[in-house]
Structure 1
Amino acid sequence: MSKPKKSWKELSPNAKAAIVAVAAVDAGTRVWALRDLAGRRPEEINGPKRAWAIGLSIGSTAGIGPAIYLLWGRKRRG
């Protein structure tokens, strides 16, 4: 059997801080990736630009989705 989920009030201060930190990193990297995506032409992106925009816009990925885009989704300039 699984344990019942804890409410926010039941979490320790360290657990709350960790959740807030992960959410902040996710939001920051998501904004960075979306701004980068908006400033690139479709031929500068590996894959469909629209698909990247949709993927980066939905769901929380703890910064993993934006990191994938920033590392592999964009072609190198220059």
Structure 2
Amino acid sequence: MPDKKRWKDLSPRTRRLIVAAGTAETLLKLAALLDLRRRPAAAVRGSKVKWGTAIVVVNSLGVVPIAYFLYGRRPVDRQRA
């Protein structure tokens, strides 16, 4: 069985890609959680608690926050705003 690569064994390019991907996922999760917190429950498809849990817990490479932005939010009624 091959040995696992350690951080120091990775090329600088691979390290940068890992850090960039982690940063992007963190920013997506943060943006989704902030939007979820500010949005009224009536403007969210499904439970806010379930969306929040999925966004935080699921290691998704950004899939869950993107799904929230695309499918979890109801359209804003512009006449009220």
TM-score, structure 1 normalization = 0.89
Moved over 3 A (4+): none
Q: Of the two, which has the highest radius of gyration?
A: 2
In the alignment, which residue of structure 1 is the partner of 2:40? 41
Q: How far apart in 2 are the matches of 1:6 and 1:76? A: 46
Q: Which runs of 5+ in 1 are unaligned?
A: none
Equivalent pairs counted in the alignment come to: 77
Q: Which runs of 5+ in 2 are unaligned?
A: none
TM-score, structure 2 normalization = 0.86
Equivalent residues in 2 for 1:47-58, closer than 5 Å: 47-58=46-57
Q: Kindly, what percent of the aligned residue pairs are identical? A: 32
Contact 1:26–1:60 (Cα < 8 Å) also in 2: no
Q: 1:51 is matched by which residue type in structure 2?
A: K
Superimposed CA distance per residue, residues 40-75 of structure 1 (whole angstroms, 9 cap, x where no aligned partner): 111111111100011111243221111111111111
